[in-house]
Structure 1
Amino acid sequence: MYAIVNIAGKQFKVTKDQYVYAPKMQGDIDASVEFDEVLLADDNGTVSVGAPVLEGAKVTGKILDHVKGDKVIVFKKKRRKGYKKKNGHRQEFTKLLIENIAL
């Protein structure tokens, strides 16, 4: 059983007991979260497609941690002008554990 769910503006294919790194969300560690924007669900070969979402379907999970992703280097240069700029960025994520998918 899996579901495609909208979490913080991004779509994720989730199953039970799966870890998901979603964009940073508000909430404390070990807090329960509930997502009701389920776009598609598959229950042992029976596919349900929402228009745009499935009514009554919910995905519940738990916030495990707030983490940072890998560093991305941003390098800008204009040739023959002496202009170079190096910058780094680390995106913040929330680590979620998907506990249940209810249709």
Structure 2
Amino acid sequence: MESNMYAVIKTGGKQYRVVAGEKLKIEQIPAEVGAEITIDQILMVGEGESVKIGAPLVAGATVKATVLAQGRHDKIKIFKMRRRKHYRKNQGHRQNYTEIRIDGIAA
């Protein structure tokens, strides 16, 4: 029953389709490694043919997850240049992330 249940969650300004047991990297949230978190911004819950779509959120639906790690993505390079103007600018950026494992979806 729980194996084909999925949800669309919203966190960090992004939307993710999640199933139980899945690991994913989301925008950083303040939580200790090993902590249980509850995500209550559920936009949609689906199981087989039955689909519940929120307006905008599904009432009473939650997703339980465990924080696995806090880390930083690989560095990206930002290079800006104006041709013939003697202007060059190098910049790097590493985005923080929180890795979570989805434990269960409660509709």
Q: Which runs of 5+ in 1 are unaligned?
A: none
Q: Does 1:40 align with 2:24?
A: no
Q: Which runs of 5+ in 2 are unaligned?
A: none
Q: 2:15 aligns with which of 4, 11, 14?
A: 11
Q: Percent identity?
A: 34
- Paired AA for residue 53 in structure 1: L
* Deviation per residue, 1:17-64 (Å, 9 max, x gap): 001110010010000100111110111221111111111110000111
Q: Please name the residue that 1:23 is paired with.
A: 27
- Paired AA for residue 12 in structure 1: Y
Map 1:59-74 → 2, pairs under 5 A: 59-74=63-78
Q: 1:93 aligns with which of 67, 87, 97?
A: 97
1:74: how far off?
0.5
Question: 1 or 2, which has the higher strand percentage?
Answer: 1
Moved over 2 A (4+): none
Could you state the TM-score of these two structures normalised by the residue count of structure 1?
A: 0.95
Could you state the TM-score of these two structures normalised by the residue count of structure 2?
A: 0.92
C-alpha RMSD of matched pairs (Å): 0.9
